[in-house]
Amino acid sequence: MLIVLLGPPGSGKGTQAEKITSEFDLAYISTGDILRSAVKDNNELGRKARQYMDQGQLVPDDLVVDIVKVRLMDAEGKKGALFDGFPRTVEQAVFLEKALPELKVTLNMVFSIEVDESELIKRLTGRRVCSVCGASYHLKFKPPKVRNVCDQCGGDLYQRDDDSLETVQERLEVYKKQTEPLIDFYQERGLLSPIDGNQDIDGVYKQISSVLGEL
């Protein structure tokens, strides 16, 4: 089983993924998290990816596709996997489609989380992330119990480098140009499930989990 979370920056992919993977037995594969950890480690992948990420641009397809291949093979033993932030270009989606038979995985559903742009900007500029476990918080919409401390692991919270207003605006443009075409791509294949992401976190989760429960 393979599930994809598709949606603009700040639409709540990471937030929902945390809830989905804790309830359903799915490996969590977030290309954004994997790339950020490579940047932090300053390894070869991180050194190549950093320049793109800092500018709000997409990392080249070949780098991302290699990451995904490895992670999918590691996900054996789980019921399936949940992709957050992959695929993000038509080229990546075509790669995935071709790779599925070989990987013996079926793509069951693509959730397209739709949120108004003004709301996305508020969410991204107020976001804080745990430096240890990666959990997402928001100064107003999802504050931690103790200021700047992760509820789950006690780690320090930080602001992502790409969450400045200027980079957020660039990321939203990149989304429209390079990722939004995937909505039609998956609609045509009968795999798209649109989700109203303007609701609160639990409301969005309810909508997603009711579809997932029926798969």
Whole-number Å distance between alpha carbons of 203 and 211: 13
Of the candidates 171, 3, 4, 194, the residue with the CA atom closest to the CA atom of residue 87: 4
Given the residues 50, 71, 88, 128, select the one marked as catalytic: 88
Does the active-site annotation cover 47? no
Query: Considering CB under 5 A, how many residues would be counted as binding Zn ion?
Result: 8
Whole-number Å distance between alpha carbons of 180 and 113: 11
Q: Does 133 bind Zn ion (CB under 5 A)?
A: yes
CB of 33 to Mg ion, least distance (A): 7
CB of 79 to ligand AP5, least distance (A): 22
Binding mask 100-139 for ligand AP5 (x = CB under 6 A): -----------------------xx--x--------xxx-
Q: Does 141 bind ligand AP5 (CB under 6 A)?
A: yes
Given the residues 50, 123, 142, 171, select the one marked as catalytic: 171
The count of residues in the chain is: 215
Q: Which is nearer to ligand AP5, 13 or 212 (CB)?
A: 13
Q: Does 21 bind ligand AP5 (CB under 6 A)?
A: no
Does the active-site annotation cover 50? no
Q: Checking phi first, is residue 77 left (phi over 0); if not, alpha (psi -120 to 50) or beta?
A: left
Say if residues 81 and 105 touch (Cβ distance below 8 Å).
yes
Exactly one of 64, 96, 130, 150 binds ligand AP5 (CB under 6 A); which one? 64
Query: What Cα–Cα distance (Å) separates residue 96 from each residue in 4, 13, 29, 194, 195?
Result: 11, 19, 14, 20, 22
Does the active-site annotation cover 171? yes
Helix axes 13-23, 201-213, angle to 10 degrees: 50
Q: Residue for token digits 């992502």?
A: 160
From Zn ion, Mg ion, ligand AP5, none, which one binds at residue 200 (CB under 5 to 8 Å depending on kind)?
Answer: ligand AP5
Say if residues 169 and 188 touch (Cβ distance below 8 Å).
no
Could you tell me which stretch among 8-16, 87-95, 98-106, 143-151 binds Mg ion (CB under 5 A)?
8-16
Cα-Cα-Cα-Cα dihedral of 119, 121, 126, 130, to 10°? 100
Given the residues 13, 36, 71, 123, select the one marked as catalytic: 13
Return the active site residues: 13, 88, 127, 160, 171
Task: Note the residues at the interface with ligand AP5 (CB under 6 A).
Answer: 7, 9-15, 31-32, 35, 52-53, 56-59, 64, 85-86, 88, 92, 123-124, 127, 136-138, 141-142, 171, 200-201, 204
